[in-house]
Amino acid sequence: MAGRGARGPDPGESGADESGSPKTRPTPARGVPRRADPGWRAADPASGVATTPGRARTTIEQVAAAAGVSRSTVSRVANGSTAVSPQALRAVEDAIARLGYVPNRAARSLAMRQTHAVALIVPEDTARFFGDPYFGAVVAGISERISRSDYLLNLLVASDDPGGRVTGFVRNGGVDGAIILSHHTSDRFVDRIAEAVPVVFGGRPSTAREADWIVDVDNVAGARAATEHLIRTGRRRIATITGPQSMAAAIDRLTGFRGALAAAGLAPWAELPGDYAEADGARAAQTLLARAGSGSALPDAIFAASDLMARGALRTLRAAGVRVPEDVAIVGFDDSPVALSTDPTLTTIRQPMQEQGRMLAEVLLDLLAGAEPPRRTILGTELVVRQSA
């Protein structure tokens, strides 16, 4: 997954074949000018177009004029972006074929100081990153879209960026753009990254700015739907296990939970802190069991802000003899494979994780191609009813 852009050809030893890829050619005999080599092709750094001596080169502007579109539209097509109408796509592809336009990525990288690499930056520890199915699904979506472009994807997992290594790598030209996923209010280093390269945020930053590009899910609506489902099934003592309140997504889910209860004239039975991990759900359930042992009633329902926390709570309650859903109904959030691993299977909120990843990559690629994608993309959620509630 990690990688850097290809180094440009040495003009004395390599050229480009008809696809624009570098190819090695034999060194001419001593005393013979290199331009006399009949297969020699120069790469014009100004345009990134490979040319043959004596033949007029085709520029991106000529392709745009022939297709009747803008220069940025030709660039988007060349970079594999889907943010192009079918008519414009056909016109550009026809013009490219007719004019013989061949983008030379290596020459363009040298001329414009581009790496043709992008970074996915995740400010989390590695245990969380590799242990939460959410990240795997989002990365799969990002990787799928990037693989259809000319860019390579670097994965940088760094909690708080100790020593500033990630920040330095990006600011020193390591990548052309970045996606930042799962950031907290304490992750101030992301601001320095956003100052250096185009950045798209996966999830609303806690201190979002109008100029930010964001791809998020409707966390408020998802949490509201989960809580309303519990209310419709007759539950009245409804608790929640929250995500970390240093993250906008967790704040939004708590807001949706509280809003649904208030609309029904109910108050939260309990709000227990968590960090999306299974152990947090188990710990919260133990707290509720301890309170019940001291004379307080158990809640009759729990909304957990992640499937992992829901599984932790469900297993802990069942181990203590509590029936799910008869005594306590449980709803999670994600609809990850975790939801099918529990007994009973987990009712949850489905968020489109792979689609979020694809959209994050799409917006970044559009920015790098000179397009103007929407600054806010909000994806919907869906209640999935199974056995736990």
CB 193 within 8 A of CB 215: no
User: 117-217+354-379 domain in CATH 3.30.365.10?
Assistant: no
- Same-fold call for 14-112 versus 219-352: no
CB 388 within 8 A of CB 344: yes
pLDDT in tens, 262-309: 999 999 999 999 999 999 999 999 999 999 988 789 999 999 999 999
pLDDT in tens, 343-383: 999 999 999 999 999 999 999 999 998 888 999 999 999 99
User: How, if at all, do strands 177-181 and 117-122 pair?
Assistant: parallel
Taking the CA of residue 113 as centre, how many other CA atoms within 13 Å lie in the half-sphere pointing to its CB? 5
Q: Please give the Cα distance from 363 to 376 (Å, whole number).
A: 10
Tokens in use for 364? Answer: 């970044």
Look at residue 7 in the predicted model and tell me its pLDDT. Answer: 36
User: How, if at all, do strands 347-350 and 382-384 pair?
Assistant: antiparallel
Whether 261 has a pLDDT exceeding 50, the answer reads yes
Look up the pTM and report it: 0.71
The class level of CATH for 219-352 reads alpha beta
Look at residue 123 in the predicted model and tell me its pLDDT. Answer: 84
CA nearest to 187, candidates 108, 235, 122: 122
pLDDT in tens, 57-112: 788 889 999 999 988 788 778 766 666 788 888 898 899 888 888 765 544 444 45
Look at residue 131 in the predicted model and tell me its pLDDT. Answer: 87
Q: What's the CATH fold of domain 14-112?
A: 434 Repressor (Amino-terminal Domain) (1.10.260)
Q: pLDDT higher for 252 or 50?
A: 252
Domain edges within the chain: 14-112, 117-217+354-379, 219-352
The vertex-57 CA angle with 106 and 78, nearest 5°, equals: 50
Helix or strand or coil: residue 386? coil
Helix or strand or coil: residue 129? helix
Q: Please give the Cα distance from 79 to 369 (Å, whole number).
A: 7
